[in-house]
Amino acid sequence: MNLLATTSTVAISCYALLSTVYRSVQALYAQPIEPLLADRSVETYVLPSVDVIVPSFNEDPRTLSACLRSIADQDYAGKLRVYVIDDGSENLEAVVPVHDTYAKDPRFNFIVLPKNAGKRKAQIAAIRRSSGDLVLNVDSDTILAPDVVTKLASKMQDASVGAAMGQLTASNRSDTWLTRLIDMEYWLACNEERAAQARFGAVMCCCGPCAMYRRSALLLLLDQYETQFFRGKPSDFGEDRHLTILMLKAGFRTEYVPEAVAATVVPDTLGPYLRQQLRWARSTFRDTFLALRLLPGLDRYLTLDVVGQNLGPLLLALSSLTGLAQILFTRTVPWWTGLMIILMTAVRCSVAALRARQLRFLAFSLHTPINIFLLLPVKAYALCTLSNSDWLSRKAVQLPADGDKQVVDRKAVDRESILERGQRPGSHRRIDLAPGRSRRVGSETLCRGESTGRAG
């Protein structure tokens, strides 16, 4: 049984050493520097046109309305177009009034897919119909600060930049203890991990809620993006990470813009949170294999980053498992393992509190037991089920009714009647993409394309 104690001690010591080196270098590189283009006003050059792509699936109408309102209120002085894609939602009847409200704005276009095709295919359906110089992907539950488009477009002045992401926060941060914890997790992921990667122009994942791409680069990669496979099966989640890796593989820089703030809805209970983490873990493992080929051409820090993010959790899991086994079989406490975990948690939370200048980050210590007892097992399960492409998304549809929500069956929604009603004045910009048909609405012929796939 001494083997258990020795293994736990060695594993946690190696983890502590790796984590200390990795976090210290990360904190150093995450420090803000003066960007080369920061002082160059966007007024001194021709502003690029921007297409905002908003895929929506079973979204709460109020949440979608808040998202579209934040886009409509952007202070961007250049040409802005918005493409909202309903990806076969079961609550189409509830979101149609939201569509109608913004259809009166000539910048807004609405695409309705006849059945669920998945987020990636919904994005591509809009990208192929748009023509702006820059493409901004926005999740339907995300609210943008008024200057997000301006800030991201400014970063894209550099022709070598293929993609840029903004800083994410939790719009429902104050709802539960979990949303508060996730909000801190997002701050650390953006202002430590992404900020350090951006020092070398190699953000490894431009997050889906708010990420801008250069169209000329995007078009070169669109076919690869659409037809991602893993072990012979279509891989249709993790679209943001995969597209970012493709950008880096094509030789473009990927950047992080902390001034471009976007607030997104995060899970408020453990069930949805763990399902989200499972999906993200599978995506991370899949695309890490692809990213390994890029490392020789990137700064050595990126190699440390990949090692720290993948080998670190493995060492922590090994030390935790052997420590628990030591308690069960020998009735002895792995004090060294426990002490190191406590010390490392205290140091990290204290440093985060100092950097963010917010004492609330001391409470991030709660993330440690969640990580050890919930997230590490989820990651292990993800690694064992990499071929599973289930999105694990919400299946039921919730519609507001007198301030409350009620579940509505899919069959209760007559899509064709909704689409026909949607053709009244003020909603002529809706496009229904049903296979093999077209129809004329007003003076426009709205062509219907193909869409196949599964829940997204």
Per-residue 3-state assignment (H helix, E strand, C coil) for 34-93: CCCCCCCCHHHCCCCCEEEEEEECCCCHHHHHHHHHHHHCCCCCCCEEEEEEEECCCCHH
Tokens at 179, concatenated = 């949303």
Task: Report residue 87: phi and psi, to 5°.
Answer: -90, 60
Dihedral angle over CA of 121, 125, 126, 130, nearest 10: 140
Q: Which amino acid is at 35?
A: P
pTM of the predicted model as reported, rounded to 2 decimal places? 0.84
Q: Which amino acid is at 324?
A: L
Q: 10-residue block means of pLDDT along the chain (456 residues)?
A: 88 96 96 60 74 96 97 97 96 94 95 90 92 97 98 96 98 97 98 97 95 96 82 71 94 97 97 94 87 93 95 95 92 93 97 96 97 96 82 46 35 39 39 39 30 32
Q: Which amino acid is at 443?
A: S
CB 206 within 8 A of CB 163: yes
The CA distance from 390 to 74, in Å, is: 35
| pLDDT for position 163 | 98
Tokens at 258, concatenated = 């902390």
* DSSP-derived pairing of the beta strands 80-87 and 50-56: parallel
| pLDDT for position 393 | 53
| pLDDT for position 396 | 38
Cβ neighbours for 383, distance < 8 A, ≥ 6 positions apart? 281, 285
